[in-house]
A = this chain, B = another copy of it.
Amino acid sequence: MAADQAPVAGSPIGEHPIRRRLTINDIARLADVSKKTVSRVINESPLVNEATRQKVAAIIAENGYIPDPQARGLAFRRSFLIAFFYDNPSAQYVVNAQQGILEALRGSSLELVVRPVNRQAPTFVDEMRDVVTRQKFAGVVLFPSVSEDERLVALLRELDCPYVRVASVLLDRPEAMIVSHDAVGAAAAARHLAAAGHTRIGHICGPNTFRSSHVRREGFEAGLVECGLALDPTLVAEGAYTFESGVVCGERLLALEPRPTAIFTGNDEMALGVYQAARERGLEIPRDLSVVGFDDSPIASRVWPLLTSVALPIVEMGRIAASRLRGVEDPADPLNGPAVTPMLVARNSVGPPSS
């Protein structure tokens, strides 16, 4: 009231300090160009004079202007959301994949939406159709086992939604796939056990409904054959990728006469089940039994003896998947070079055979 100067328009003195968010119109006015030109700068269109571009970019930066993703999405008929659908029971697996995806999304205007899914549910496909139609995702990342679901993939194609699948074998065109080459990792486990001198080696594989179960088993068998050994079918048990199934299958294999001197399991959870089964029989690892797991989960380096395991680069695969959807090149992308491959992490659960 008694102010000497009239308040500056747009930032009236004494009003609430929260100023209205800037829109594309404000920037256009400030830069003295049309909103369409501002739009071109935002979307990095090459059809804009370099001097104009710089002027507009400077004003955008100065004012901390951020285009509204909802308005852009509405006009684009596509959201700025990347979806991560998962049904892997391992928390660590999910978090690692998520971490990799988020690393690739950093600095972009994309956000990550997560959805646990249940392929067994009768409403699965319908629910997926609803959410994909509604959200118009900029892209979808699929990890096993939902990445193996052809109904979902057909749906994404039909709805014209970009996707990248991570799986243990090539199920799709290479650009839409990241192959984890589980077979290579399983073969490394076989060589490791053979090198330690084992010849009577058991295997606990995952459930038949998972592709990785087959791929890991076949890779393991191939690795044994490579070393002049064979995978005795009577020494193979089908587990469920759970601790409990590891205990049960472990008990079965360890009750055999003569019993295997080493066991390779399809994942770490089942390896720990074997630890438990061995303990119950008074068998000491690795003195009486060698064990190799798969996943190299954090638990592998928390138990005793430390578990030798095959590590899959989950974080990296997540990062590569999201980079593809962004249209950004990732140096580790197998499309640009050698394949992403698993690695055997040797610890304390393998020794020479006792008998």
Contacts and interface: CB of A to CB of B under 8 A. Distances in A.
Interface of A: 18, 21, 66, 68-71, 73-74, 79, 81, 91-92, 94-96, 98-99, 102, 109, 111-116, 130-131, 133-136, 158-159, 243, 269, 272, 275-276, 279, 298-299, 301-304
Nearest to A95: B91
Contact of A73 (B70, B95, B130, B158): B70
A301 B276 CA distance: 11
Contacts of A71: 74
Contacts of A91: 91-92, 94-96, 298
A18 B114 CA distance: 26
15 contacts: A18-B158, A21-B133, A69-B135, A70-B74, A81-B111, A91-B298, A102-B114, A102-B115, A102-B116, A109-B134, A114-B114, A299-B299, A302-B303, A303-B304, A304-B304
Contacts of A94: 91, 95
A303 B276 CA distance: 9
Nearest to A17: B158
B113 A113 contact: yes
Given A70-B73, A91-B92, A303-B303, 13 more contacts: A66-B133, A70-B79, A71-B74, A81-B111, A91-B96, A91-B298, A92-B92, A102-B114, A111-B113, A111-B135, A114-B114, A269-B302, A279-B304
Say whether chain A's binding surface is mostly helix, strand, loop, or mixed: helix
A66 B243 contact: no
A316 B168 CA distance: 34
Contacts of A158: 18
A92 B94 CA distance: 10
A289 to B, nearest CB: 15
Nearest to A130: B66
A131 B243 CA distance: 40
Contacts of A112: 113-115
Nearest to A18: B158
A91 B129 CA distance: 29
A80 to B, nearest CB: 9
Contacts of A68: 74, 134
A276 B304 contact: yes
A113 B102 CA distance: 11
Contacts of A301: 243
Contacts of A102: 114-116
Contacts of A109: 134
A272 B134 CA distance: 46
Contact of A66 (B66, B73, B134): B134
Contacts of A303: 302-304
Contacts of A73: 70
A114 B98 contact: yes
A295 B159 CA distance: 43
Nearest to A158: B18
Nearest to A134: B66
A302 B299 contact: yes
A92 B95 CA distance: 8
Residue of A96, A99, A109, A135 ringed by the most chain B CB atoms within 10 A: A135
